[in-house]
Structures are given as structure tokens and as C-alpha cells.
Amino acid sequence: MSDQEPQAVFAIEKLYVKDLSVEVPNAPQIFLEREAPEIDVQLATQTQPIAEDVYETILTATVTAKIGDKVMFLVEVAQAGIFRIAQIPAEQLNPVMGIGCPNIVFPYLRETVSDLVSRAGFPPVILNPVNFEAMYMQQQQQAAESATTH
């Protein structure tokens, strides 16, 4: 019985808002605008070890709504998760951290952004689903390309 391989461990230790900010720089006049704003969403992901077999994944969304050159609102949220990941083969660890962890954190980020925009007095912004696998593959390809050019 003791010859069995150790079991892989993947556990969510904590999900939390690491940082957030809301700016409505042109209030109250901006609330009189009837034009639909242009919404720009920037998304970034970052994972780092914080202890043995424990990692933090941070998803940061920056949502900017503008009418012409006037900013209606600017919302920035850093939603994070702490994950215990152990006994996973080395070649699978990066995909788990780059794809699996962001997929778990994203729904919480989406809810936080929507809630903040609503609390700022605007209709909620619902973030579109994100293909973290494609993002991860693109990051890997860019890293490989920059490694060959240096």
C-alpha cells in the first residue's frame, strides 16, 4: 500500500479582493449624458509562489468608460486567489497556474466589477468570458519568441 504515488493536491485556500478603485471624475455632470459610452476593458493575470506549494493568482481588470474624451468612470479591480498546489508534475504546474487558477478567480472578478460600476451609479458592466488557455498559449509563444531574439 505504501508504494502508491502521492495524490495530486489542488485546493482553493482563499479568494479575495486585493485592490480596487472607482473614479467618476466628471460627476455629477456626466450623469446628464444620454450618449452610450465606449467601454475599454484591459485584463492582466499574474501568479507567484508565496510559500511551499502555495501560490497567489491575481487577475486585474481595468474598465474605462468614455464619451468622446470625457471619462464617465474608471474601475480597477485586482481579484486574487490563494491556491495549494502539490504533487503535480512540473510540466503541468504552469498550465494549472496560468489557466486553471485564473478560470476560478474570474467569476469573482466579474461580479466585483459589475457591483462597483453599479455602486458608482451606472448600469453594470458584465465582463465577457475569457479564454485563459488562449491567453496562456499566447504568453508562452511571446516568451519563446523573445528568448530566441535575445
pLDDT tens profile 117-146 = 999 999 999 999 999 999 999 988 998 888
Domain CATH number, residue 90: 3.10.420.10
- CA torsion sign for 128, 132, 134, 138 is positive
Give the rounded percent of residues in the chain with a pLDDT score beyond 90.
87
In a domain, residue 64? The reply is yes
Residues in the chain, pLDDT under 70: 1-5
9 to 48, 93, 98, 119: CA distances (angstroms): 17, 11, 16, 38
Q: How far apart are the C-alpha atoms of 120 and 143, rounded to whole Å? A: 38
Question: What domain range includes position 102?
Answer: 9-149
In a domain, residue 1? The reply is no
In a domain, residue 70? The reply is yes
122 and 73 in contact (C-beta within 8 Å)?
Answer: yes
42 and 62 in contact (C-beta within 8 Å)?
Answer: yes
pTM (two decimals): 0.90
Predicted local confidence at residue 72, as pLDDT: 97
In a domain, residue 93? The reply is yes
Predicted local confidence at residue 3, as pLDDT: 57
In a domain, residue 3? The reply is no
In a domain, residue 4? The reply is no
Q: How far apart are the C-alpha atoms of 59 and 50, rounded to whole Å? A: 16
In the chain, how many domains are there? Answer: 1
Residue-wise DSSP of 27-65? TTGGGG--SPPEEEEEEEEEEEEEETTEEEEEEEEEEEE
In a domain, residue 84? The reply is yes
